Amino acid sequence: MIKYREISGLIFLKNLLKELKQLLKIGVPIYGSQISYMGMGVTDTIVAGRASALDLSGLAIGNALSMPFYFLLGGCLFAVTPIVAQLFGAKKYEEIGQKVREILWVSIALGLIGFILYRNLSFFIPFFDIDENIALISDGYLKAMSYGFIANMIFTCLRCYSEGMGLTLPVFWVAFIGLLLNIPLDIIFVYGYFGIPPMGGVGCGIATSINIVIGVIVLVLVILKKKEYAPTKIFSKFSLPNSETTKEALKLGLPIGFGVFVELSMFSGAALILGSLGSSVISGHTVAINIVSVLFILPLSFGLAAATRIGNLVGEVEFEQAKYASHVAILICLSGAILNMAVILIFRESLVSIYSSDVAIISIAINLLLFGAIFQIPDGMQMGALGSLRGYKDAFAPMLMIILTYWFIALPLGYYLTYFGILGNPMGPSGIWIGMITGLTIFASMIIPRLNYIANKFISRSFRELP
């Protein structure tokens, strides 16, 4: 005779496997896409680095200036994923097409802002002690990148539209093709082939802009050809800008974009805080941060997948299942974080040796990666919760929590520990990492209860609406 507990256990296992399957189906291609995007940056770094140290430095300064603003603007379009996901779950397919056509106008406006901004970011270079030749390359690189910014925003909008419907595999293939295409384009424009003069680091910007334009064209063709997109009729009509849709997109998108901006500024701020401790410390910190960032792609991808899955379930009015799916998303992100932690602890010496042969840099980076291993756990958990909250279209309160914990806890505490320490013993670079871990841990301890509150709010609302 089968016992009740055995039946309950089977139901629990079946439900768990169902959610794992759904999140893996959405998240694995997103992981591939994120790896492809990062691979393009790695290609730029390798090709520019082989051209000259000046070109690599110019590229690095250009990216340091532009990336926070890129994510501030592009992050606003991350709102498309939950908007589309909820409509897709509610089977309002033609409304998806209508909304995305209207939000495309927002992406063009953001692209124009980014175009103007990129062409003038070199205004900030004189405020830093940067070699004139490096500054010239950075300026040229940023201006070259500006030509692809509008296309980049359109691509982001269409990518989030596709991912919101759970169609993450087509986006992966477009991203992977872009990665492969980026290699010859970089080589042609950086070194000069086929009658094109060598452009050094500036060539990476031109290659990226061309690559992005091609990516948009390919993604549009995929959307036109694949039958899975047909019910939305996205390109079958023309829609003018709509004030209500614009407000909806920006109300959700601006907190997301600013939240990403704050997160990036924490890492930039950490590097600036360590600036007076010497090049070896800065280099060791940079290596450790880079390794942690690469590994973070795993929980990041499933956090993004959670936004789609929870959004779909909210649209289907399956609020209980949405809450359960959010817990499974946190579990997956936490599992990925534990895996990353093990990789760091076991292979940190080998990983660091890839980046540098300098004994001092290696020693500092290996030490900081011990903190980087701890860093993974709260970072992974918060990503699962944050992605789930986006699926509920809850972004403003998480943004406030990010500002509080990153700007007012992580950085001030990190600065104090770095230069003053405990009982007057400065902790050096370890201090800023302890500060960041503290900020992330507090954020995770705030964002998970927020997720449960929002999930329960949706569930209770559904009960109130019952006849």
Quote the pLDDT of residue 279: 67
Q: What is the pLDDT of residues 408-450, one digit of tens each?
A: 999 999 999 988 988 778 888 889 999 999 999 999 999 999 9
Count of other CB atoms within 10 angstroms of residue 46: 13
Residue at a domain's end among 241, 270, 299: 241
At residue 125's C-alpha, the angle toward residues 119 and 127, to 5°, is 140
The pLDDT of residue 148: 92
Distances (CA, A) of 416 to 91, 184, 270, 403: 53, 47, 12, 18
Is 463 within a domain? yes
Determine the pLDDT at residue 130.
65
Q: Is residue 14 part of a domain?
A: no
pLDDT band at 162 (very low <50, low <70, confident <90, very high): very high
Do residue 222 and residue 335 come from a single domain? no
Give 179-213 pLDDT, tens digit per residue.
999 889 988 888 888 888 887 778 888 999 999 99
| Residues contacting 63, CB < 8 A, separation 6+ | 41
Distance CA 326, CA 310 (A): 7
Amino acid at 394: D
pLDDT at 389 over 80: yes
Looking at the structure, do residues 297 and 358 belong to the same domain, yes or no? Answer: yes
Residues 213 and 266 in one domain: no
pLDDT tops 70 at residue 129? no
Q: Are residues 289 and 322 in the same domain?
A: yes
Q: Domain end: 206, 241, 276, which one? A: 241
Last residue of a domain, which of 215, 241, 267?
241
Structure tokens at 406: 């990153």
Q: Do residues 174 and 295 share a domain?
A: no
Say if residue 116 is in the same domain as residue 197: yes
Are both 237 and 258 inside the same structural domain?
no
Structure tokens at 443: 């954020």
Does 87 lie in the same domain as 158? yes
Classify residue 191: in a domain, yes or no: yes
The pLDDT score that the predictor gives to residue 32 is 92
Same domain, 268 and 228: no
**Could you tell me the residue range of the domain that residue 183 belongs to?**
32-241
* pLDDT tens-digit series, residues 73-117: 988 899 999 999 999 999 999 999 999 999 999 999 999 999 998
237 and 265 share a domain?
no
Q: pLDDT tens digits for 215-268?
A: 999 999 999 999 999 999 999 888 898 999 999 999 999 999 898 888 888 877
Please answer whether residues 415 and 436 qualify as being in contact, where contact means their C-beta atoms are separated by less than 8 angstroms. Answer: no
